[in-house]
Amino acid sequence: MPKKTRLLFLLDASGSMMAKWETSQRWDVAKTMLARMADSLDSYANLEIALRVYGHQSAANLKNCKDTKLEVPFAAHNAGQIKKRLQQITPKGNTPITYSLEQSANDFPQDPNARNVIIIITDGLESCGGDPCATSLALQKKRVFLKPFIIGLGDDPGYAQQFGCMGQYYNASDIKTFRQVMDNVISIALKKTTVSVELTDEAGKPVETNVNMTFLNNVTGIPEYNFVHYLDAAGKPDKLEIDALLTYDLVVNTVPAVELRGLNIKPGQHNVFRVKAPQGYLYLRQDAPTTYGTVTALVRQKGSPQLLQTQRFPSQHKYLAGTYEVELLTLPRIRQTVTIKQGQATTITFPPPGALNITQDLKGYGSLYLLHQDGSQEWLWNLPEGSSKISLPLQPGRYRVVYRIKTAKGSQFTDVKNFSIHSNLTTTIKLYN
């Protein structure tokens, strides 16, 4: 079932609206336009409109900063009520935009499935010291309403600065533009909008697919849509219907993800977005079971300390084309830099381990080191203090054990043993021998 749209007109009726505008007054123009708009909306299904007015109950010299009122509450087909009420209002007071916005939060009935929209029509800036931008953002984050539309009447250079941060700002410097803006806003609110996403390879061909795509609300950061990308038999992505009243960041959930911030969506039409997302495979090959059990690899983008993914042997996973650092949790750990290329598989494997076997059941303190070709040693592991009796899988290479039994009366009784490990073979050493 289509969502219900609730459209609240928040109308400025401060004293300045009586100012002359071309051959008429701002108030008369706004009133006539709004009446005509209400009439044209009356036939829409799943639509309710309402009217809140500010600055019309107290004279400007009274500085009433709570001068705002819901004049016509939400209902279907209520254009007649709105037109009648507009005829009875006379502008007179100041411009409490922020307070009116706060109060408008209570105008919308509790309905999590409705699209709540505010169209603000004003010819003046906030006059009561409020912060309309912060208030608008807070109410958007609470999902009270979607990003507001603000139509500034006249040509005040301060409008863009104050209203731009509140929502989608339009400058109606003349009556003709005002009419066009009103039509455009209604089109955005009510017409169907679709998007397609082309996921391209290195050459710009839209051949990638089967990836989750998330459309994030870039005000709240909350996902509005999740789709798994699809290409039809002709290699074309499908059309997705989305709500043009929101602004989005697109996240293509490749590994790592690719983001397109602030999608420039043209409402009421079809939009195509291209995202460069070439992918290849990392194949972790293991030819036979090993004494390690399951071996896991840690995958990071080259130069980044952040862990991107853990991948177990044997398996094959997709990654964005690029350079990665892969760390195998063998003993000792094996670190490799690999390049993933579009449409290709890059293979990583490791030599089968051997084993270190210590048969003695001694209590003491010791460590295991890897010996490098230059004679330096690298710490790998500490032997258990409760018992030296171990069988430990190790990668082929040269090693050293440094050990002192618990009962020894001095450091000089430390035993140092060098040994080698070979694939699929066990090396047994005896301490203090």
- Domain chopping of the chain, boundaries: 5-190, 193-276, 279-348, 354-429
Please give the CATH superfamily to which domain 354-429 belongs: Transthyretin/hydroxyisourate hydrolase domain (2.60.40.180)
Tell me, what's the pLDDT at 189? 81
CATH entry, 279-348, from 2.60.40, 1.10.3470, 3.40.1580, 3.30.470? 2.60.40
Please give the CATH superfamily to which domain 5-190 belongs: von Willebrand factor, type A domain (3.40.50.410)
Longest CA–CA span in the chain (Å) reads: 110
Tell me, what's the pLDDT at 251? 98
What average pLDDT does the chain have? 93
Amino acid (one-letter) located at 74: F
Tell me, what's the pLDDT at 1? 62
Model pLDDT for residues 310-333, shown as the tens digit of each residue: 999 999 999 999 999 999 999 999
Rounded CA separation 2/45 (Å): 10
Tell me, what's the pLDDT at 350? 96
Rounded CA separation 125/127 (Å): 6
SS (H, E, C) the chain: CCCCEEEEEEEECEHHHHCEECCEEHHHHHHHHHHHHHHHHCCCCCEEEEEEEECCCCCHHHCCCCCEEEEEEEECCCHHHHHHHHHHCCCCECCCHHHHHHHHCCCCCCCCCCEEEEEEEECCCCCCCCCHHHHHHHHHHCCCCCCCEEEEECCCCHHHHHHHCCCEEEEECCHHHHHHHHHHHHHHHHCCEEEEEEEECCCCCCCECCCEEEEEECCCCCEEEEEECCECCCCCECCEEECCCCCEEEEECCCCCEEECCCCCCCCCEEEEEEECCEEEEEECCCCCCCCCCCEEEEEECCCCCCCEEEECCEEEEEECEEEEEEECCCCCEEEEEEECCCCEEEECCCCCEEEEECCCCCEEEEEEEECCCCCEEEEEECCCCCCCEEEEECCEEEEEEEEECCCCCHHHCEEEEEEECCCCEEEECCCC
Fold: same for 193-276 and 279-348: yes
Rounded CA separation 387/112 (Å): 63
Please give the CATH superfamily to which domain 193-276 belongs: Carboxypeptidase-like, regulatory domain (2.60.40.1120)
The rounded Cα 66 to chain-centroid distance in angstroms is: 37
Pairing state between β 279-284 and 345-348: parallel
Rounded CA separation 256/78 (Å): 51
Provide, rounded to the nearest whole percent, the portion of the chain with pLDDT above 70.
100
Model pLDDT for residues 278-307, shown as the tens digit of each residue: 999 999 999 888 888 899 999 999 999 999
Rounded CA separation 122/207 (Å): 48
**Residuewise pLDDT in 10s, the chain (433 residues):** 678 899 999 999 999 999 998 989 999 999 999 999 999 888 888 899 999 999 999 888 888 999 999 999 999 999 999 999 999 999 998 999 999 999 999 999 999 889 999 999 998 888 888 899 999 999 998 888 888 989 988 777 777 777 888 888 888 888 898 888 888 888 888 888 999 999 999 999 999 999 999 999 988 899 999 999 999 999 999 999 999 888 899 999 999 999 999 999 988 899 999 999 999 999 999 988 888 889 999 999 999 999 999 999 999 999 999 999 999 999 999 999 999 999 999 999 999 999 999 999 999 999 999 999 999 999 999 999 999 999 999 999 999 999 999 999 999 999 999 999 999 999 999 999 8
Tell me, what's the pLDDT at 354? 96
Contacts of 303 (CB under 8 A, 6+ apart): none
Tokens standing for residue 150: 């603000």
Pairing state between β 212-217 and 223-228: antiparallel
Beta bridge partners of 326: 299, 336
Catalogue the long-range contacts made by 76-85 (C-beta closer than 8 Å, 24 or more residues apart): 76/47, 76/48, 77/42, 78/38, 78/42, 78/48, 78/49, 78/50, 79/35, 79/38, 79/39, 79/41, 79/42, 79/49, 82/9, 82/34, 82/35, 82/38, 82/49, 82/51, 83/35, 83/38, 83/39, 85/51
Ramachandran assignment for 411, one of left (phi > 0), alpha (psi -120 to 50 degrees), beta (any other): alpha
Amino acid (one-letter) located at 131: D
CA triple 423-424-426, angle to 5 deg:
100
Tell me, what's the pLDDT at 303? 95
